[in-house]
């Protein structure tokens, strides 16, 4: 039996590195406040999509997927967010092809719409995070109009 596209969507979004960082205390990580705020915005958008998908799964009388974070994420506990940022960007890049496939689901409009929302959000947030990473690499303050560090 094929897996419902919404189950795949939640299974793709929920156990992601940004969600892990938020769930284990994003505000306790060292690093620039701008990274924390950008990650918090990303997580809020992804949680919104995952929550909406879960509601549709409930309406369909389907079980929500049980998801767990990879054990390897625990190695990132208390690491500076500036160091983690490139890995978050890479992980978002790996999510995009699957989100594109889910957004093109021909026989499930709800799944396609939610995946398209997630894809738009991931792309927008990736652009912001890439910009922050570039500023950090250049030794600039990631705040708009910031001064060199």
Does a structural domain hold residue 10?
yes
Instruction: State how many domains the chain has.
Output: 1
Task: Say which CATH number the domain at 87 has.
Answer: 1.20.1260.10
Predicted model pTM: 0.88
pLDDT digits (tens, 9 = 90+) for 47-59: 999 999 999 999 9
Per-residue pLDDT tens over the stretch 87-141: 999 999 999 999 999 999 999 999 999 999 999 999 999 999 999 999 988 886 6
3-class state of residue 80 by DSSP: coil
Inter-residue contact 81 to 36 (CB < 8 Å): yes
Which domain, by its residues, includes 30?
5-137
């Amino acid at each position: 039996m094929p897996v419902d596209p919404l189950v795949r969507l939640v299974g793709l979004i929920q156990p992601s590195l940004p969600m892990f960082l938020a769930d284990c205390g994003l505000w306790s990580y060292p690093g620039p406040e701008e990274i924390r705020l950008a990650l918090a915005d990303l997580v809020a958008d992804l949680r919104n999509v995952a929550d909406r998908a879960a509601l549709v799964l409930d309406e369909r009388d389907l079980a929500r997927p049980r998801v767990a974070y990879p054990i390897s994420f625990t190695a990132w506990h208390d690491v500076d967010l500036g160091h983690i940022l490139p890995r978050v960007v890479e992980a978002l890049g790996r999510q995009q092809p699957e989100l594109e496939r889910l957004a093109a689901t021909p026989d499930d409009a709800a799944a396609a719409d939610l995946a398209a929302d997630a894809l738009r959000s991931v792309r927008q947030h990736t652009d912001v995070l890439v910009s922050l990473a570039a500023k950090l690499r250049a030794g600039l303050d990631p705040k708009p109009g910031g001064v060199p560090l």
